[in-house]
Amino acid sequence: MIKNISPGCIFVDILYFCKSHPDCLRSSQVVMDMFTCFISKIIDMKKLMMTAILVATCLGMMNAQTAQKQVVEEGGTGPFKSEVVGDASCPGFTVYRPQNLKEVVAKHGALPVIVYANGACFNNNVEMRLLLSEVASYGYVAAAIGPYDEADVMAQWRGVLRSAYPETKGEVVMANGEKILPLTPDEIKARQEEQAKQREAAAKKAKKTKKQQPAVPQFRTYPKMLLEVLDWLTDQNAASGSEYYHCLDLDHVAAMGQSCGGA
């Protein structure tokens, strides 16, 4: 069988082989081997070309691309009004930064960086959105673990507000203008019944597995994520087409967190 024919010499090799071994052309097996090898080389070339296309596409998407953003509490009380950003090239994190970042840096120089981990090691920074927005308004770029998801953020705050004030007679207005009313008596009763069922099921399960080793808690985030987002920020600071190009003072980086995220 013919092997190791380089793609650039496929036709030359076939012609040379036919000229040097005319008798072998009578063998259908040899012809089939040549054809099979020829097709396999074409497939390999196509795979190589597709890989090159994918690499080129990925390289084109490496630069920061703001996909979503919002202003929380009028951008904070600091001298630089802040914004919350979800970036397509870093979907697992949320960035808090001054608005008009390039203009701020042009006037005041590169900004120090904060990487933030959440309480309970949650993969969501919604509980600290006000705090991180406030910090960013004083001239920091803070990258927090957890994707930017406005629908999820509002859903969580809705649940928190309704649960935290079950007896209030007033109404709470969310940042998006939505009015939140307290839980009704029927909703409170249904929630209490569901919680009682969950406690009962947990007690039965604990009794069955009493002699087993307790399971290791599985958190949705891990400490290395802070280094991963710092690597991303470092790459963006060096990429000429990035929104963060030469905007970050990477000599001044702080790690910040709450509870599990601070441990």
Task: Look at 62 and 114; give whichever has higher pLDDT.
Answer: 114
Q: How confident is the model at residue 2 (pLDDT cuts 50, 70, 90)?
A: very low
How crowded is the C-beta side of 25, counted as CA atoms within 13 Å?
Answer: 9
Q: Side by side, which strands form the sheet with 141-145?
A: 66-70, 82-87, 93-98, 141-145, 111-117, 248-257
Its pTM stands at 0.58
Note the pLDDT of residue 251.
97
- Count of beta carbons in the 10 Å neighbourhood of residue 19: 8
Looking up tokens 């649940």 gives 159
Whether the pLDDT of residue 183 is over 80: the answer is no
Between residues 63 and 239, the one the model is more confident about: 239
Residues 233, 114 contacting (CB under 8 angstroms): no
Q: Is residue 10 very low, low, confident or very high in pLDDT (cuts 50, 70, 90)?
A: very low
pLDDT for 73 equals 82
Average pLDDT over residues 235-257: 95
Residue 82, pLDDT score: 96
pLDDT at res. 14: 46
When the pLDDT of each residue in the chain is averaged and rounded to a whole number, the result is: 75
Residue 186's pLDDT is what? 86
Instruction: Specify the residue for token string 């496929």.
Output: 10
pLDDT score of 23: 55
**What is the Cα 147 distance to its own chain's centre?**
6
Summarize pLDDT for 71-114 with one digit per residue, the tens: 888 899 999 999 999 998 888 899 999 999 999 999 999 999 99
User: What tokens were used for 254?
Assistant: 């702080």
Most confident option among 191-200, 208-217, 246-255: 246-255
Helix runs in 96-223, H state only: 101-108, 129-136, 150-164, 185-208
pLDDT reported for residue 176: 60
More confident residue, 181 or 110: 110
Q: Is the pLDDT confidence value at 257 over 90?
A: yes
- The most distant pair of C-alpha atoms in the chain lies apart, rounded to whole Å, by 99
Least confident of 157-166, 197-206, 254-263: 157-166
Long-range pairs, 86-89, Cβ under 8 A, ≥24: 86/147, 86/148, 86/149, 87/148, 88/61, 89/61, 89/62, 89/63, 89/64, 89/65, 89/232
Q: Kindly report, residue by residue over 16-49, the tens digit of the pLDDT.
A: 544 555 554 455 455 456 555 555 655 555 555 5
Helix count and strand count (H, E) for the chain: 7, 8
pLDDT digits (tens, 9 = 90+) for 137-174: 999 999 999 888 766 656 666 666 666 665 555 666 66
DSSP states along 49-97: HHHHHHHHHHHHT-S--EEEEE-SGGG-SSSS-EEEEEETT-TTEEEEE
